Structure 1
C-alpha cells in the first residue's frame, strides 16, 4: 500500500522529502480514516491549495497539519450526515472527568437572576490571589463549553505548522524582556491632562442642527485658510468660482458630484462662505502627474478658471504648517488655574513615559473567558508601565456568543465582572504608580454605538484617579507626551474613498503611509464626511 501511495503522489506531481517517514505516516492515515491512496492524495491536494504552499515537495513538517485537516474533514462529513450528533473529543472527556456532575447542575438558559449574579460574583471575587509576588488569574465564568475548557495555557502563536526558529522562539519566550520597557523603568506616577470637552450627559444623539453641521465644516475650511495665509508662502486667497485667466490660490473642501466614488468627472471644490458663499465648482486634475484626494479633504488649489465653471488645477497644496497647540506655553495664571483644578500636578517633572497599548477584542472567539486580557495584565504586572491604554471593543457585539445570545449575563454584567474587576485588582495590586486609560469602541455591546463616542460612565469611587475613561476619539497628555486615541478604522474607510494617481515614473507609493499622512495634514481623526 505504501507503493500505491507513492505512485499516487508521483502521478499528481508531488515528490516526497523523507520518503520512508512520510509513507509510514500516510499508511497510518489511510488505515485510521479508511482512505484509499487516491483519496489520501486528493485530500493532500486540498490541504496544499488551502495552505498556499509553493513547493511540490511533501515535507514531514506538514504531516501534523495534514492530520488535523483529515480529522476536520471526517468530523464535518459525520456532522453533515447526522446533524444532531455531537462528535466528542478528548477535551469533552477531560471536562467530564474534571468537572464531575457539572452537566447535571446546568439549567436552561433564561433571564439572569440575582442568584446567578451572586454566584458568579463569588467566583470572580476568588479569582485574583496574591501569592508573594505572583499575580495570577483564574476563569470567572461558570459556563463551560467543550471548546472553552483549555488543557494548555492561552498563548499567542507567531507561526503556524512551522518548526520553531531562533527568531520566533525568542518571541515566544514568556520571560523575554521588552527592550523599551527595560530601558525606561517606572519612575513614579505620570501626569494626566485630558484635552477636549466632555459630552453633556443630557445631550441627544443624531439631533444635530443643519446650522451646526455647516458651521463645523466652515470652521475647518477657515482654519486651513488662516494657516495657509500665515505661512507666507502663498498670496491672497481667491474665489475659485470666478472666471480668471491668471493663476490663483483657493482653499476648499473636496466633494463628490452625486452618489458613488470620486472619479475624474465628479470632483467638486466647495469654498468657504467668506470667499464664495459656499458655492461649489468643478475641479479638473488632468494636469497633475500625481495626487491623492478624498471627500471631505480640505486642500489648497493653485490653478486658473478661464470659464468660471471649472477650476483647472496645476498644484494641490495638501500640507499645511501644523499650528502650535494653545496649551503648550500657557500663561502662569492659566497654569495655576489648571493646577488648582487638579488636572496637573507641578511635581511631575519627569518627561520619560513607559506605556503599554493594546486593542480589543480581549477574548478568543470560542469563549468569553477573556484570557488575552488576563495574559496582558499578567505581562503588565511584570513590566509595571506607568500607563496602560486599552482600546475597545471590550464586550464585542460581533463575538459569536454575544451575537447568538448564548450568555446568561447582561452586557453590563460581563463588562463589570470580566473587565473592570480585573483592572481594579491590577491597579490595587501595583499601587498608585500605575494608570489605566479606557477608550470605548462602536462595537461595544454595553455602550452607545455612536461616533464620536462618549467615555464609559463608570462611577465607582476610589479608583477614579487611576482608571481614566476617555472619549472616542480622545486626546490626553501624560508627562508632556500628547497621545490621541481612536478605535474607528479610519484607514480602512479612507482606502474605500480615496482617489489617487501615481507618479509618472511608475514608482508605486506606500499607500498606508499616504493615508496616515492625510490624518496628520487634516488634523482630524475622521476627515471623511459623515451622514
Structure 2
C-alpha cells in the first residue's frame, strides 16, 4: 500500500531540483497523485522533473499537473501493492476496504498510522538517494569534472550556464547592495568631476586594426611563436635568479641542474600531478619533453602552457625529479608616472551579458544606465558580450532584426546618455559577441557611422593609459579557463582567485593557457604582440564567471566586476575612484555593487 505523503516530504524532494512548493492546491494535487498511482515523494519529484524538461514546462501549477497526470502517470502501470505476510493479517488495507466493512477500531488505528508518518520514519538511515527517473546517478554526486559543478535543477539548463536562483530579475530585492570594497571606499566621492579623459594605447605598435585576416597561420609560424615565449621567459628567469646555465631537459645527469620549459599534459584529460610534462625550447633542449616528478616539492601551482624554471635531477633520462620551482618574474612597472595634480578620476566598469538569459529586453543595462546618469562618472568601461551567443532568444533564432542592428541600437542608447553627461566610453568586444569576429586577440568594433566623440573602441585584450594610469583589460574569461585546468598542492591552499590572477602577471600574458579552451580561437600571428602584458598595470580588469573580487596583487589592483546579468537574475558591476598620489602608484578606492 502506498503511504500518504506529507507536505514536508514533498517539499524536501522537490527542493533537491530547485523547485519550491508554495501553492497549497498544487501540494494537495501532488498528494492525490501519490495515493492514486502509489508513488512516494521521491518518485513523484523525479517523474515531474523528467516530464517538465521533456515538455519544457517552466512552472508547476494545477494545469501543468493535470497534463502531467494525463500524459505521463496515466500511461504507467501502478505499483502492485505488497501483500502482508503477518499470520494475523490477510487483508490488504486501502481506501476501498475501509469503506467496505472494516470495524471502527481497525479503521481508527489505520488512520492514526498515517498521521504518525514523518520524514525520519520514511528514511532508512543515512542520506537520501537522489536519482533521476532512469536511476542514473547525478554528476553532482559522482565526482568532479573539468567544469565547475552545477546542481541539477530546471534553472541549471539556462543558456548562460549559471547556477541561477529561482527568483527572476524583476523580483530581486538586493539592488544597490555593496558586496565588495577596496581601499578607502568609505570616504570616496563616487560622483565624477566633469573632467576630460586622455585615453591612448600604451604601445601603439601592438594595436590591432579593425579588420585583418586571421586563422591563416602556418604550423611552423605557430611553433616559432611558442618557442619564442619560452626563450623570452628563460632570459628573464636566468637574470633574476642568477642561473648560470640551462641544461637539456632530457639528458641524464647525476648532479642537480636547472631547466626551463613549458608545462604540458601527457593526455587529453585534465592536468594532474602524475601527468605533468616539461617541454624544453629548441635552443636548449631541441624541443624535447620529459615527465616531471613533483613528489619532492612542498607546494606548486601549475597549468598547461605555464613557463617555469625547475631545479632537479634526471638520473635516468626518463624522468626529471624536481626539487625546486623558481618563482616567475612579474612584469616590470610602467615607465610613466602618475600625474601629480590631485584630480581624482571616477569610473565604472561593467561586463556583459547586459540582459538576462531568457530575454533580450536589456533590463540590467537600463538599470545600469540609470546609475551612470545619477552619478555622472568621468569614464565608463563596457566589456562584452553585448549580443550574447549563449542567450536563449539568440539560440532559438527568434530575432526579427540582424545581430548588428541589435548591437548598434543598444550602443546608441548608451552613447546618448554618456555623451549628455560628458562621460567618456571605452567599449571592449568579447568572444561571445555573435555579431563580431570570434578570434583572439580580437579586433575592435567597427562602426564608421557612429558620430560620437566620447567613444573609443579597443581590442581584446588591450593596455591603455588613461590620465597616466595604466589599465590592462581583457573580456575573455581566462580565470575560468585557468581554474578548470590548474593543478595545485596542497589542495585548497592560499587564495585561489588571487593565485589565478597572479599567473597572468607572472607569465606576462593575457592568455597564458596552452592549449587554449575550446571556446577560444587563438591566432598566434597576432598573439605574440597583442596578447602579451607589456608592463605591470595600475589596474587589471579581468571579468569572469567566477566570484567577483578586488585584490591587490604584486602592487596591481586586480578587478573582477562580475557579470551585469547572471542567468535570469541581476549581477554586479564595479566603480572606482583613482586619486593620483605623485608616486608610481595612485590611490584606488573601489566597490562591487549589485545592479
1:380 CA drift (Å): 0.7
Could you list the runs of 5+ residues in structure 1 that have no partner in the other structure?
A: 15-24, 51-68, 84-152, 160-167, 173-177, 330-345
Aligned: 1:275 with 2:284: yes
| Aligned positions of 1:259-408 closer than 5 A | 259-325=268-334, 327-328=335-336, 352-408=344-400
Could you list the runs of 5+ residues in structure 2 that have no partner in the other structure?
A: 13-20, 47-56, 72-167, 180-184, 517-595
Counterparts in 2 of 1:36 and 1:311: CA distance versus 1, 3 Å: closer
CA contact (8 A) 1:351 1:480 kept: no
CA contact (8 A) 2:297 2:323 kept: yes
2:308 aligned counterpart, secondary structure: strand
CA contact (8 A) 2:199 2:466 kept: yes
Give the equivalent residue in structure 2 for 1:191. Answer: 198
Aligned residue pairs, count: 388
CA distance in 2 between counterparts of 1:260 and 1:439 reads 32
1:260 CA drift (Å): 2.5
Counterparts in 2 of 1:466 and 1:530: CA distance versus 1, 3 Å: farther
Answer with 486-495 or 404-413: which moved more: 486-495
Answer with 362-371 or 33-42: which moved more: 33-42
| Aligned positions of 1:140-151 closer than 5 A | none
1:349 CA drift (Å): 5.3
Q: TM-score, normalised by structure 1?
A: 0.63
Give the equivalent residue in structure 2 for 1:499. Answer: 487
CA distance in 1 between counterparts of 2:177 and 2:504 reads 35
1:396 aligned counterpart, secondary structure: coil
1:457 CA drift (Å): 0.7
CA distance in 2 between counterparts of 1:322 and 1:525 reads 12
CA distance in 1 between counterparts of 2:313 and 2:9 reads 69
Pick one of 406, 418, 421 that aligns with 1:427.
418
2:345 aligned counterpart, secondary structure: coil
Give the equivalent residue in structure 2 for 1:115. Answer: none
1:202 CA drift (Å): 5.5
2:61 aligned counterpart, secondary structure: helix
Pick one of 264, 267, 276 that aligns with 1:255.
264
Aligned: 1:526 with 2:511: yes
| Aligned positions of 1:437-476 closer than 5 A | 437-460=426-449, 462-463=451-452, 465-476=453-464
Aligned: 1:73 with 2:58: no
User: What is the CA deviation profile of residues 458-503 of structure 1, one whole-angstrom value per residue up to 9, with x for unaligned ones?
Assistant: 113542x411112112221212222222222222222222222217
CA distance in 2 between counterparts of 1:10 and 1:308 reads 64
1:238 CA drift (Å): 2.8
Give the equivalent residue in structure 1 for 2:172. Answer: 157
CA contact (8 A) 1:352 1:479 kept: no
CA distance in 1 between counterparts of 2:315 and 2:169 reads 67
CA contact (8 A) 2:7 2:27 kept: no
Give the equivalent residue in structure 2 for 1:213. Answer: 222
2:223 aligned counterpart, secondary structure: helix
1:72 aligned counterpart, secondary structure: coil
Counterparts in 2 of 1:78 and 1:348: CA distance versus 1, 3 Å: farther
CA contact (8 A) 1:184 1:352 kept: no
Aligned: 1:514 with 2:499: yes
1:45 CA drift (Å): 7.2
User: What is the CA deviation profile of residues 83-104 of structure 1, one whole-angstrom value per residue up to 9, with x for unaligned ones?
Assistant: 9xxxxxxxxxxxxxxxxxxxxx
Identify the structure with bigger relative contact order (alpha carbons < 8 Å, sequence gap 6+): 2
CA distance in 2 between counterparts of 1:70 and 1:370 reads 21
Counterparts in 2 of 1:79 and 1:406: CA distance versus 1, 3 Å: farther
1:182 CA drift (Å): 2.4
Answer with 488-497 or 466-475: which moved more: 488-497
Counterparts in 2 of 1:198 and 1:285: CA distance versus 1, 3 Å: same
Counterparts in 2 of 1:350 and 1:190: CA distance versus 1, 3 Å: farther
1:527 CA drift (Å): 0.9
CA distance in 1 between counterparts of 2:229 and 2:339 reads 37
Counterparts in 2 of 1:179 and 1:190: CA distance versus 1, 3 Å: farther
| Aligned positions of 1:117-132 closer than 5 A | none
Give the equivalent residue in structure 2 for 1:338. Answer: none
CA contact (8 A) 2:418 2:424 kept: yes
CA contact (8 A) 2:443 2:459 kept: yes
User: What is the CA deviation profile of residues 161-186 of structure 1, one whole-angstrom value per residue up to 9, with x for unaligned ones?
Assistant: xxxxxxx89669xxxxx857625642
